[in-house]
Structure 1
Amino acid sequence: MYQKDEIGNKVPVTVLTGFLGAGKTTLLNYILTQDHGQKIAVIVNEFGEVGIDNQLVVGADEEIFEMNNGCICCTVRGDLIRILGDLMDAKLGKSDRQVDFDRVLIETTGLADPAPVAQTFFVDEEMASFYTLDAIVTLVDAKHAERHLDEGHEAQEQVAFADVILLNKVDLVDESCLNQLEHRLISMNSAAKIYRTQNSQIDLNKILGISAFDLDKKLEVDPGFLEEEDHDHDDTVSSIVLREERPLDLKKLEKLIGKWIQDFGENMFRYKGILYIKDVEERVVFQGIHMLFASNADRKWKSVEQKVSEVVIIGRELDPTWFQEQFAQCVAS
């Protein structure tokens, strides 16, 4: 297995998803043409689907190639893990082709559900030792989003998995419609940051290098990340916020999370939180995707901060009252 210290730090990966026509390719072009001083490896879903300012000229037999701005590009015609492995070997000088890059951007054109991409960095130890999933960025077409959200589960799932939502094409919609749509998005995913954009233009510091998927790092940067209010909604996808100031019993909580995964795992798209456990000096950070779950002890609680458990669950057709009641039963006696 490749060890992290072979390259110093893990390579951050940003997953870019969104509705058809929401502006993913425009954002991709924008990122690659900005003066950010980084070499970015771009993985696009299928050969021929994305044209990056007409710079991509590749023969049918090539899968990894360099662009004239120092970035590289790959086409996902095969298995994502294999392509990430090829990139890893190329960066480490363990293949005939040597390329250098600072981060990876995966554009998920044609993938309705970002889960398989995100799960790659959970289930494959070799990938997890070299790469770190930085954030899932979802673009939303402000002009057509209401219809997309009403008509299909795919659009809702893209919102559910997002760490950052770019509400794009805001110049085409009036303020009242934007506010209504933003409220709907918050009700579906209260943990995501939402930014309004035109032509997919955004301060890159808000979408790259934000450690949004690495919850313990995210909480160090933004301690109030999980402090969101729940909202009423009509969508099948929604977010549930659980909060408990009393210490929790670890065994009760482990049993409950096991039940969550067994009974609702397929409908739980993302869940994350920090836990205040009785007789444990550190905060416990956990997050999961569907049936995959991971937790770890974070830093010690600071003497000046309030010890509190906060959990956000994003999923489809989940009963918030049941989750609240079950979570409350995990309070330590």
Structure 2
Amino acid sequence: MAKTHVTVLNGFLGSGKTTLLNALLHQARKRSDIRLAVIANDMGEIDIDADVIANTDLVGGERNNFISIDSGSLSSRHILPRFREALARLIAEDGPTHILVETSGSTHPWPLVEALRDTPEVELHGCLALIDSVMLLQDFDKGRGVVEGLQRNLAQDQQGVENLLAGQIMFANRLVLTKTDRLPDGALQEIAQAIHPLNPYADITGMSWGGLRLDDVFAMPPYDFHRVARLGQEFAQQADDGDDPADPAAYRIVSRTLNDPRPFHPQRLWTIYNRFLGTGIHRSKGFFWLPSRDDQCLLWNQAAGSINLEVVSYWRIAALSDLSLKLTPEERTGLAERLAGLSPVFGDRRCQLVIIGQEQEIDPFVDALKTCFCTEDEIVAWQHGEHFEDPWPRVDA
């Protein structure tokens, strides 16, 4: 019986894994010879990426070919069994020819690679490490800081973000430098040269906006487990010493969740983002709304020092009150039924954000974000149609 091929999209927080996954899924729509399944992972309590990916015309819904694993990293001891169960379920229910695995950005690849090696029904081909080239440029001295930080941490017998970044690079069989369209001339070459010694066996390629061909990804040869055997033994030795070296806590990476029906005040949110976002806030993402554009469900997508806003949908309660949509009585009744039991003020509107970062920096940033929620007086002002200053760029659906 033919084995199911598996490709792992690994890489640090905000490196572009979901963007690449969506691009690959878009290409796969045109292929009748591929039965694709997806496992997506997020260390936060709310898997925002899963909400974006699921219910496309290829995966999710009633197709039984999409599984989301949240509240931890796939490589952690307490989450890895869920990954094994997800693999078995997808193979049994959907019989895919190929499984794409998108890890959380805090995932060390070795426990995942080891689990796939020990699953006889699958064959690992690509283990891609997506690397945010802009982050390496700005925060890690064009990549040199990763190597230097790793050497420093090893000498001091401690773990840091550099250990995780280096591990993701060393266990990959292809390195993908992302966001290359934002690099100055010559920087890509310097970054590639800086990280090459960490894994001289892996090809290095550049990418912007998920620009890899599906055929190239699926054509990767079987993973060479022998090449990483010694690295795996060293990793296992760390685990035998007591701590879980694959747990995000080992790198002092933690997550926080904001879940509140109130809107963010647009001006305060802009100020907090520009003043309080430090280098220790690696990733924040989620859905939110503003009183200045209360019909739009906005996607907040921050990685390192950059942020992107996108309109992903429109709130049902806004559609119900929009006479220009000319909804039929049946459509209005259906919307009203779906809104039943929700807040009479906000309806289905909600701010849901997952923030991931270094434990010493994350709580001050989250506390600052909480001050951005509209006060009771501001909510009353919104209900009366008052104007709110909104410095955020306007985006279209």
Shift of 1:39: 2.3
* Count of residue pairs the alignment pairs up: 203
C-alpha distance in structure 1 between counterparts of 2:162 and 2:50, whole Å = 29
In structure 2, what residue type is equivalent to 1:159? I
1:51 aligns with 2:37: no
The 1:52/1:199 distance shift into structure 2, 3 A limit, reads farther
Q: Is structure 2 residue 78 aligned with structure 1 residue 83?
A: no
Change (3 A) 1:194 1:212: farther
Q: SS in structure 2 opposite 1:180?
A: helix
Decide whether the 8 Å contact of 2:12 with 2:105 is kept in 1: no
Distance 1:175 1:68 in 2: 44
- Structural mapping, 1:268-279, within 5 Å: none
Q: 1:185/1:36 Cα in 2 relative to 1: closer, same or farther (>3 Å)?
A: farther
Q: Does 1:183 align with 2:199?
A: no
Change in CA separation of 1:76 and 1:212 when aligned onto 2, cut-off 3 Å: same
**Where in structure 1 are there 5+ consecutive unaligned residues?**
59-64, 91-98, 217-225, 227-238, 240-256, 270-333
Matching residue of 2:384: none
Cα distance in 1, alignment partners of residues 51 and 88 from structure 2: 27
- Write the deviation string for residues 199-257 of structure 1: whole angstroms up to 9, x where unpaired: 121122222231240579xxxxxxxxx9xxxxxxxxxxxx9xxxxxxxxxxxxxxxxx9
* Bigger strand share: 1
The residue identity in structure 1 corresponding to 2:233 is G
Counterpart residue number, 1:220: none
Alpha-carbon displacement from aligned partner over 1:240-280 (angstroms, at most 9, x marks no partner): xxxxxxxxxxxxxxxxx9xx68xx931599xxxxxxxxxxx
Q: Point out where structure 2 has 5 or more consecutive residues left out of the alignment.
A: 71-78, 141-145, 150-160, 238-397
Residue type of the partner of 2:194?
R
Indicate the residue corresponding to 1:113 in structure 2: 108
The answer as to whether partners of 1:12 and 1:209 remain within 8 angstroms in 2 is no
> SS of the residue aligned with 2:205?
strand
Letter in structure 2 aligned against 1:266:
E
| RMSD (CA atoms) | 3.4
Measured in 2, the distance between the counterparts of 1:197 and 1:66 equals 24
Matched-pair contact (CA < 8 Å) for 1:134–1:211? yes
Superposition pairs of residues 1-333 of structure 1, within 5 angstroms: 5=1, 9-34=2-27, 35-37=30-32, 38-46=34-42, 48-51=46-49, 54=52, 56=54, 66-67=59-60, 72-77=65-70, 79-90=82-93, 99-122=94-117, 124=118, 127-128=119-120, 130-146=121-137, 147=139, 149=146, 150=149, 152-214=162-224, 265-266=233-234
Q: Deviations over 1:32-60 (max 9, x none)?
A: 011344221100114742436845259xx
Give me the whole-angstrom Cα distance separating, in 1, the residues matched to 2:173 and 2:55.
32
CA contact (8 A) 1:17 1:158 kept: yes
Measure the CA separation in 1 of the matches of 2:51 and 2:85. 27
Q: Is the CA contact 1:19–1:140 (under 8 Å) kept in the aligned structure 2?
A: yes
For residue 276 of structure 2, what is the aligned residue in structure 1?
Answer: none
Greater C-alpha radius of gyration? 2
Q: 1:71–1:194: structure 2 CA closer, same or farther, 3 Å change rule? A: farther
Return closer, same or farther for 1:186/1:105 CA change in 2, 3 Å cut-off. Answer: same
Flag the structure with higher helix content: 2
Do the aligned residues in 1 keep the contact of 2:169 with 2:175 (CA within 8 Å)? yes
> What residue identity is the alignment partner of 1:265?
Q
**TM-score, normalised relative to structure 1:** 0.53
Length-normalised TM-score, structure 2: 0.45
Distance 2:179 2:205 in 1: 11
1:195 deviates by 1.0
Distance 1:111 1:143 in 2: 18
Opposite residue 35 of structure 2, the aligned amino acid is K
CA contact (8 A) 2:24 2:213 kept: no
Deviation at 1:76, TM superposition (A): 2.3
Residue 174 to residue 212, structure 1, CA distance change in 2 (3 Å)? farther
The letter of the residue matching 1:120 is: A
Distance 2:22 2:37 in 1: 13
CA drift at 1:190: 0.7
